[in-house]
Amino acid sequence: MDLIIRNAQVFDGTGSPPSYSDVAVDGGMIVAVGSALSGTADREIDARGLSLMPGIIDSHTHYDAQITWDPSLSPSSSLGVTSVLIGNCGFTIAPCRTTDQDLIMHNLTQVEGMSIEVLQSGINWNFESFPDYLDSLEAGGMIANVAAFMGHSSIRTFVMGQAAVERAANDAELAEMQRIVEQGMAAGAIGFATSTAPQHNGHNGIPMPSRLADERELEALVSAMGKAGNGIFMLTKGRQTEISFLEQLADVSNRPVMIAALLHNSTQPDDTFNDLAAIGAARARGRELWGQVSCCPLTNDFTFKSAYPLEGLAAWKPAMRVKGDALKSLLMDPTFRQQVVDELAIPGVRLFNNEWHKLELIEASDPKNRVLEGITVDVLAANAGKQPLDWILDFAVSENLESLFTAVLLNSDQEAVGRMICDPNASVALSDAGAHLTFFCDAGFGLHLMGHWSRDLEVLALEQAVHELTAKPAAIFRIPKRGTIDVGYHADLLLFDPNTVARGPKRRVHDLPGGAARLTTDAVGIYGTWVNGVQIANERGIIDAKARPGHLLREFAH
């Protein structure tokens, strides 16, 4: 026997109340669960006073690029996560022709807030097709389990070239995309992912390729995904994409549809609940739809070199096409400013909704301005006698666009978020781990759900929170033998203190290729994480960043 964890309060993942049990592990599998198990093991842990649960399954990450240089999947692997799904929103790096590598990287720089220098020095381009990419990942190994979506934008670029951002596909192009999707599913993709969200723009503010697809294209590709009877369709939904159309896709493909990103907008407070109700109605008709929600407030650190909160605005597009002095000149242009002000005055669902009290200066580059740090933009503007947009742009330009701001964009209403995470049609996820590295870090979303929402606010019982993070996503995404503590299941385990478990405060580190910065967070109250029976983390974080016990997940239930 490799391991016995004794006397733990066991949350098995099913949502059942906990029991006090021992859990025995051998050969990476759970071989016994019960009280006072007989026998001995190479290692025994007395977990009295602690709780044991299945490892967290993070179903919405963007580690597609990072995993090629960092198989430790930092920081998720230090935050209780034992399985991740990559390729969400369709923002992948495979398939990719050698001639398109620069474009793919520049698109990721824009849409996922990644440094072009980091991507250029970090990505190991030892693949072209999606099956080759999976083989490359498997050969390199990984600390946690990984499943990969095929990405619509990469497939479109591979087949259509420049036309991918100009028009819908013709019949020949559509047939080739269908072939690639079927090939990817045969190689072990978990499904097919795309985005129609207006904030998802690539290089120079040009819409990501998937946004040019018409409904005919989406139906053809989702049908190709489901042709062999498996696969999950994952979509980040723009306002123009109707739930009724997604129900139709679930019907024609006979496959589940995961709809992201359902975040609460306080200026349009009913929209997310209307979407969840429509999803529930579709489920009642026998179509498996899910709404992907977040348990975290969506915050974003940014400078005006790349003002992500504003990039969903049509009026902001010119600012995404210029840099340096040209960008500063544009930001000072009264006509440009007025167009932004006019668009912000129109109610809508977007990242930033004209709520200047939710923007704060957190780091001024000029020492004389440090006294303004920690003050919200509405107050700073009022004190200066200016409109908020004028104040923030004047200030940013005066500091050579180095000023660092933070914005609380969505999910700021705790009562509303509590209702969302408890909705039977919702799945809690949306960490975006691996992307937006300089903007925010929600990789610890699972610990936040357990600590803040379950223990502190008592919005849901801890066994329900554990279920939401483990057995439920395993069932939705058809991941076999994971997400539950039971005999015959893989030993993906998390040992924690329910009285202290939480995510720590965000902090900035410089550990990306070339020493570039990213935001990270530390776990609180975690005492051990095991992947396939191998301990990867303890109370101090990752034990060995070179450990590779994770599996590339290629086989899924129907």
pLDDT tens-place string over residues 414-452 = 999 999 999 999 999 999 999 988 788 999 999 999 999
Strands 526-531 and 493-496: antiparallel
Instruction: Taking the CA atoms of 96, 102, 106 and 112 in sequence, report the sign of the dihedral they define.
Output: positive
| Residues written for the chain | 558
> Burial letters for 523-558: b for 16+ Cβ neighbours within 10 Å, e otherwise?
bbbbbbbbbbbbbbbeeebbbeeebbbbbbbeebee
Strands 145-151 and 359-363: unpaired
pTM, two decimal places: 0.94
Burial class (CB in 10 A: 0-12, 13-18, 19+), 255: buried
pLDDT of residue 440: 87
Q: How far apart are the C-alpha atoms of 211 and 494, rounded to whole Å?
A: 39
The tokens for 453 are 């929402």
Of 174, 255, 176, 172, the residue nearest 212 (C-alpha):
174
Q: How far apart are the C-alpha atoms of 449 and 456, rounded to whole Å?
A: 10
> In this predicted structure, which of 52-66, 217-231, 301-315 has the lowest mean pLDDT?
301-315
Q: Is the pLDDT of residue 388 over 90?
A: yes
pLDDT of residue 438: 76
Q: How far apart are the C-alpha atoms of 505 and 508, rounded to whole Å?
A: 10
pLDDT of residue 123: 97
Task: State pLDDT tens for residues 2-23.
Answer: 999 999 999 999 999 999 999 9
Q: How far apart are the C-alpha atoms of 177 and 220, rounded to whole Å?
A: 9
Percentage of the chain lying above the pLDDT 90 cut: 91
Of 191, 54, 90, the residue nearest 557 (C-alpha):
191
Q: How confident is the model at residue 349 (pLDDT cuts 50, 70, 90)?
A: low
Q: How confident is the model at residue 67 (pLDDT cuts 50, 70, 90)?
A: very high
pLDDT of residue 308: 87
Q: Are 349 and 338 in contact (CB under 8 A)?
A: no
φ, ψ (nearest 5 deg) of residue 140: -80, -20
pLDDT of residue 173: 98
Neighbours of 83 (CB within 10 A): 29
pLDDT of residue 439: 80
pLDDT of residue 311: 87
Q: Which residues contact 525 (CB under 8 A, 6 or more apart)?
A: 447, 451, 496, 497, 498, 499, 500, 501, 502
Q: How far apart are the C-alpha atoms of 428 and 121, rounded to whole Å?
A: 34
The tokens for 556 are 């899924």
Q: How confident is the model at residue 395 (pLDDT cuts 50, 70, 90)?
A: very high
The tokens for 210 are 């998937």
Count how many Cα atoms sit within 13 Å of the Cα of residue 67 in the half-sphere of its side chain.
33
Average pLDDT over residues 551-555: 98
Three-class DSSP labels, 482-518 = CCCCCCCCECCEEEECCCCCEECCCEEECCCHHHCCE
φ, ψ (nearest 5 deg) of residue 554: -125, -10
Q: How confident is the model at residue 343 (pLDDT cuts 50, 70, 90)?
A: very high
Q: Is the pLDDT of residue 470 over 70?
A: yes
Domain locations along the chain: 56-297+411-477+486-500+507-542, 300-408
Average pLDDT over residues 320-332: 96
The tokens for 129 are 């097709």
Q: DSSP secondary-structure letter at 312? A: T
Residue with tokens 């503010």: 205
Q: How far apart are the C-alpha atoms of 87 and 134, rounded to whole Å?
A: 12
pLDDT of residue 325: 97
Strands 426-428 and 289-293: parallel
Domain 56-297+411-477+486-500+507-542: assigned CATH number: 3.20.20.140
Q: Mean pLDDT over all residues of the chain?
A: 96
